Each structure stands twice: as structure tokens, then as C-alpha cells.
Amino acid sequence: MPQEATRPALEIVVFPMLSDNYGFLIHDPAGGETAVVDPAEAAPALAACAAHGWQLTHILNTHHHGDHVGGNLELKSRTGCKIVGPAYDRERIPGLDLAVDEASGADFGGRHASVFFVPGHTRGHIAYWFAEDYALFCGDTLFSLGCGRLFEGTPAQMWSSLLKLRALPDDTRIYCAHEYTQSNARFALTAEPENAALKAKAEKVATERAAGRFTIPSTLGAEKACNPFLRADQPDLRRRFGGPGVSDADVLGAIRAAKDRF
């Protein structure tokens, strides 16, 4: 379990945007700073801040897609917030003030967040890991029971990226950017139909969605037990999607291709 924090924990608020996107407010109660992660649009982010009485000070972008940066410029204009994003893709982040990479990390709320370079979905994707709070903001690299489409990267890049995230503690909270969990569960059950943990999670997800509840955050421990994209090196998935002599990355690629056709 997480060690006792030396300062008040970050307050994290999940709010919906567009049809299936999530935004996340991260608030430091000690210093009063508030960040929004991947704002697709400005209005929901401002409404979430207002509901909590918080003033937006930062935007943390994981990658350049419009449903992650669409609100950048309006939010910056209206609040004067600082925009932080991937140095690997700096030319495609609107209004970028501070480009960060694995060497620099990112500072927010008196904390130093690790930055992971996780290409695959895009060529410059990053994730933010707040170790003290066991919180990972991973954009479209890792989803609950899924991973992002390989729009600009290769299976080898995505597998390497997922291994970086899989190495974090099991009680890491996974804040991914879309409510895809129920549809991901349907595919995952075709990939690993005998996985008892997956069956149980799929049932829980169905109950949560029927009640209108968010399935995010998930935990890394649950994903390691259930998410086929994190389990591409497991024997059952290798038999179904690869075979002897096939690399883990190629198995991952085969699983992703099957999901694309699903």
C-alpha cells in the first residue's frame, strides 16, 4: 500500500467531456494549484473547477490529438494557466509553455512527477506518474482492459511503453482518457475466455455502467490480471495470437489487430 504521505494528498476529480472522454482535475490543497489533464474542450473543465472553487493554473497534455488538446488555447486565454506537454511532440501541442521529457519530469503542486515516454498511439505520447499519490495519467496509451490504437507507432514501441507502465506498483490508480472499459471487456473475453479475474471484472464493469458510474480509475493490479494488452507475454495469449518463436511485441501487435477488427 502507499506509504503515509508527507503532505496532503492530491485531490483528483474525474469529469466527462465529448461523448466518451474524461478530463481530470488535479488539485494541490496545500499550495492551491490546479491542473487539468488533456482538456478536450474548455467549458467542462471550467465548470469542474468552479464546482470545487478551484482556479486553473496548469494544463498537462499527454499527446497532440484534438480530443486531448482542444481546450488548451481557450483555457489559457481565460485563466492564464501554464501548458505542459511532451517535448517529443512540442510542435503539435497548442499553446505549449513547458516541454517535458523523461529527463526533466514535471513539477506540480510541490511534487515532481515522473514523465514516461510511451510512444505507440502517437510518436510523442507521454504519461505522468505522481509517485507520492500513486496516480498515473496515461492518456491513450493504456486503457482499462485495453490500449490505444497504433496510429503513429509500432507494436514494438507500444509493448515497450506498456512494460514501463506495468512495472509500477499494483495499487497505482490508472487515469486513462476514455470510457472504453465495457467495450474493451467484450473483446478481452474473446482473447482470454478462461480468465476468471477478467470475467469478474467484466461483470463489475457491466454493473457500474448500468448504474451510470465511471469505471475510471482502475488499478494497475487489476489491469495486470485482466488486460490482454498488458499480458501479451502470457502463455495462453501467446498460443492464441502468436506461437513458438514469436516475440512478445508481435503477440501484442496481433492482439491489437484483432481488437481493430472486433
The active-site residue out of 65, 89, 125, 133 is 65
67 is catalytic: yes
**What whole-number distance in Å separates Cα of residue 46 and Cα of residue 52?**
10
Task: Give CA–CA dist 209/215, Å, rounded.
Answer: 7
Q: Which listed residue (63, 64, 89, 125) is catalytic?
A: 63
65 is catalytic: yes
Active-site residue 178, yes or no? yes
Catalytic position from the list 28, 38, 89, 140:
140
Tell me whether residue 140 is one of the annotated catalytic residues: yes
Give me the catalytic one of 67, 89, 248, 250.
Answer: 67
- Identify the active-site residue in 27, 58, 64, 121: 121
What are the cell numbers at 44? 467542462
Residues 257, 153: Cα–Cα separation, whole Å: 13
Q: Of 125, 178, 248, 250, which is the active-site residue?
A: 178
Quick check: is 52 catalytic? no
Residue of 28, 68, 125, 250 with catalytic role? 68
Catalytic residues: 63, 65, 67-68, 121, 140, 178
